[in-house]
Structure 1
Amino acid sequence: MPRLFTGLEIPSDMSDALARMRGGLPGARWIDQQNYHITLRFIGDIDHATARDIDAALGEVHREPVAVTLDSLSAFGGGRPRAVIARVAPTAALAELQADQERRVRSAGIPPEGRKFTPHVTLARLRDASPMDVADYLALRGAFPTMRFTAYRFVLFSSRDSVGGGPYVIEAAYPLG
């Protein structure tokens, strides 16, 4: 059974810039830069027939290209940090693209996503990282350079069953515009 999710790819020049932020954080498992992406909808482990239904449903998405801005570094997990991320500034166009995919995936029989959509790029997964070390890491990189790009497609990724972080394979691409 494939494990699927939809997302936006990160341009290589931005991936290079994000990868330069790696290091200096005990307990961090840094994501390979070729696996940087913005998840739009996690689908999960599904059978091949459902995967075909989802592919067909996603092929019906008709949206304009989406402007994307990465505007800061942050962390998920509060007192027990679990990831370092590059935050994506929320926009109506990005939220509408995600909501359209949510509706289509649900129409293919997948349960609703239980988590609120928070657009981001995961840079590292954390294990036993102290909140103070994470705060120090973020403070040292406080001058995050705003990065912008336009997404002209979204993709259906697959991943192997693992602890996360890739490798990810593009199974299908869907144009925007």
Structure 2
Amino acid sequence: MPRLFTAIEIPPDVGLALSFLRGGLTGARWIDPENYHVTLRFVGDVDDATGRDIMDMLGAVRRPAFDLMLQGLDQFGGRKPRSVFAAVKVNAAIMELQAEQERIMQRLGLVAEGRNFRPHVTLARLRDASSRQVADYLALRGPYRSTVFHVPRFVLFSSRDSVGGGPYLVEAVYPLG
């Protein structure tokens, strides 16, 4: 089975607005707008039986739909920036949804996620971008805010092992509400 992860899709209008932030960073590999998403839980490469178990267990998630917005741009990597992202304005609904998915994955025997959950939309992966270039980029575009958007579902995506940014395939859809 391919590499799996759960995510929230970004609506086309928000994706279009994010796409206007592209450019101005040497060495950036910009993510295509149709591949923007908020990863909830990275699963990784699993066998077909585990993949089916994940699909079944995620089907038992019962959470209300909720609203989100993106607020601010930032980077991961510190002095050696590796990506630029739009941060999600955190609310209880997204944190609880992610925590439930983490519990499901651990019940299925998957290793716990090693990092704290920091919801975001990756805009670019960086290679050879200086911390100064990234700081200048963020100074110009950092105050970005999206419109509030509704989250009626989450999805299970698969991806091929590639150099980031997709393409992603929706394997299953899980309605909220």
Moved more, 105-114 or 80-89: 105-114
Query: Aligned equivalents of 1:148 and 1:40: distance in 2?
Result: 19
> Matched residues, percent identical?
62
Match of 2:22 in 1: 22
Report if aligned partners of 1:71, 1:147 keep a CA contact under 8 Å in 2: no
Report if aligned partners of 2:153, 2:174 keep a CA contact under 8 Å in 1: yes
CA RMSD of aligned residues (A): 0.9
Report if aligned partners of 1:79, 1:131 keep a CA contact under 8 Å in 2: yes
Alignment of 1:53-68 (within 5 A): 53-68=53-68
1:77 equivalent in alignment to 2:77: yes
Could you give the per-residue CA deviations for residues 107-166 of structure 1, whole angstroms, max 9, x where no partner exists?
Answer: 122111111100000000001100000011111114413331110000000000112111
Instruction: Name the amino acid aligned to 2:79.
Output: G
Could you give the per-residue CA deviations for residues 69-88 of structure 1, whole angstroms, max 9, x where no partner exists?
Answer: 10111111111111000000
Match of 1:109 in 2: 109
Runs of 4+ deviating beyond 6 Å: none
Alignment of 1:84-95 (within 5 A): 84-95=84-95
Match of 1:123 in 2: 123
> Secondary structure in 1 aligned to 2:135?
helix
Match of 1:162 in 2: 162
1:50 equivalent in alignment to 2:47: no
Report if aligned partners of 1:65, 1:151 keep a CA contact under 8 Å in 2: yes
> Secondary structure in 2 aligned to 1:147?
coil
Report if aligned partners of 2:10, 2:38 keep a CA contact under 8 Å in 1: yes
> Secondary structure in 1 aligned to 2:171?
strand
Report if aligned partners of 1:72, 1:144 keep a CA contact under 8 Å in 2: yes
> Secondary structure in 2 aligned to 1:157?
strand
Instruction: Name the amino acid aligned to 1:25.
Output: L
Query: Aligned equivalents of 1:166 and 1:142: distance in 2?
Result: 24
Structure 1 portions without partners, runs of 5+:
none
Match of 1:135 in 2: 135
1:32 equivalent in alignment to 2:32: yes
Could you give the per-residue CA deviations for residues 28-50 of structure 1, whole angstroms, max 9, x where no partner exists?
Answer: 00001110000000000000100
Query: Aligned equivalents of 1:89 and 1:57: distance in 2?
Result: 27
